[in-house]
Amino acid sequence: MAWAPLLLTLLAHCTGESWAEVVFTQPHSVSGSPGQTVTISCTRSSGSIDSSYVHWYQQLPGNAITTVIYEDKQRPSGVPDRFSGSIDSSSNSASLTISGLQPEDEADYYCLSYGDSSNYHTVLQPHGEVRQELHRTCPPWVSLSLFPPGCVALPSCLSV
């Protein structure tokens, strides 16, 4: 079976802080070959990455969003131990590492972190920056059991 390039697209952070003060930057995409290890980072421009938990979600083509890491590094039952999460305070970033890549790992990956407010969402900009914007509605695909009400992560499919 031919191996399609691994496309990992991510989105980050929902919080109550002013959107003008916080920018999250991450790669447009990450490619890998079977058996390799890839790391996806979400870097916070200001404030502390430790101020609220970071959660990672996976969306396989045509499937619902599922949690692969919650509360920085916890793995839900059924998620392979090839997936791991970490926080690096020195670089103010969170990372998702996938080891022993497999073809089924090709998916969109979302990094999300939020505080008490539910009136902000994040938008992936063309050059890999994520900015917070006030937003009060959710598009129909968003699962409110996954995201707090009004807190929206918008998917972005980017090719290499």
DSSP labels for 74-132?
B--TTS-TTEEEEEETTTTEEEEEE-S--GGG-SEEEEE---S--SEEEEE-TTSEEEE
| pLDDT score at 77 | 92
Tens place of pLDDT per residue across the chain (160 aa)? 333 333 333 333 333 444 334 566 666 677 788 888 988 888 777 778 888 788 888 877 777 778 888 889 999 999 999 999 999 999 999 999 999 988 888 887 877 766 533 334 443 333 344 444 433 333 333 333 333 433 334 333 322 2
The answer to whether 58 and 109 are in contact (CB under 8 A) is yes
* pTM (two decimals): 0.64
| pLDDT score at 28 | 62
| pLDDT score at 86 | 97
Map out the domains of the chain with their CATH numbers.
19-134 (2.60.40.10)
| pLDDT score at 73 | 95
Distance CA 96, CA 83 (A): 7
